[in-house]
């Protein structure tokens, strides 16, 4: 009991540091977001270590029996570049440490029964990169926006899906591939940039 009281007092003593207050505030915000989502989608499984960036309830939807695992970043955009949606269908599994980034009109749409392995990136937009301005000062390239995965898609570990890409139903994308163009239904692609290497039978 004495050790427990000692630990509580040590914890309270840390509150004199502004950095501690900031970290605790960020943790509390993430927990409030998670509680809101779990109340709205009680049949989904969401890790408490997901990082929610720019979250608003109207921007996120997840289907029944879908799961998002630990360390995944779900980024919805920002005030400067606008906000986009992340929509996940039923029975989809999103593994650990993935990076899903939407922005204005650069929505991320993931179908039913998909498998997204670890360390994948789905980028809803890229920066413009004209010569006459710093890249970091340029907004999204509006010519290619959004990512769509149709139903029953499997992304291997480390896959990157670039803006403007639609991956068709039943596709398989090999590990560490970079997908830069549309993938027709039931094809198997791999490489950097990814290309067709087979079909599901």
| Catalytic residue positions, numbered | 127
| Residue-wise DSSP of 68-94 | E-TT-EEE-EETTTEE--EEE-TT-EE
In Å, how far from its chain's centre is CA 10? Answer: 36
> How far from 145 is each of 19, 61, 62, 65, 172, CA to CA, in Å?
37, 19, 21, 28, 22
Residue 74 burial by CB count (10 A; 0-12/13-18/19+): exposed, middle or buried? buried
């Amino acid at each position: 009991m004495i050790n427990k009281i000692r630990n509580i007092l040590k914890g309270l003593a840390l509150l004199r540091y502004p950095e501690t207050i900031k970290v605790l505030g960020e943790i509390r915000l993430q927990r409030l977001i998670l509680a809101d989502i779990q109340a709205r989608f009680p049949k989904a499984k969401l890790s408490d270590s997901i990082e929610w960036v720019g979250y608003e309830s109207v921007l996120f939807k997840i289907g029944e029996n879908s799961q998002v695992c630990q360390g995944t970043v779900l980024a919805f955009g920002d005030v400067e570049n606008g906000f986009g949606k992340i929509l996940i269908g039923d029975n989809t599994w999103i593994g650990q440490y993935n990076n899903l980034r939407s922005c204005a009109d650069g929505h991320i749409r993931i179908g039913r029964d998909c498998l997204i392995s670890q360390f994948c990136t789905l980028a809803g937009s890229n920066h413009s990169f004209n010569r006459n301005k710093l890249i970091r000062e340029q907004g999204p390239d509006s010519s290619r926006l959004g990512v769509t995965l149709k139903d029953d898609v499997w992304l291997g570990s480390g896959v990157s899906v670039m803006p403007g890409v639609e991956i068709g139903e039943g596709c398989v994308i090999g590990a560490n591939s970079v997908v830069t163009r549309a993938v027709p239904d039931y094809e198997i692609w791999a490489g950097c940039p990814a290309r067709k290497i087979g079909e599901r039978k």
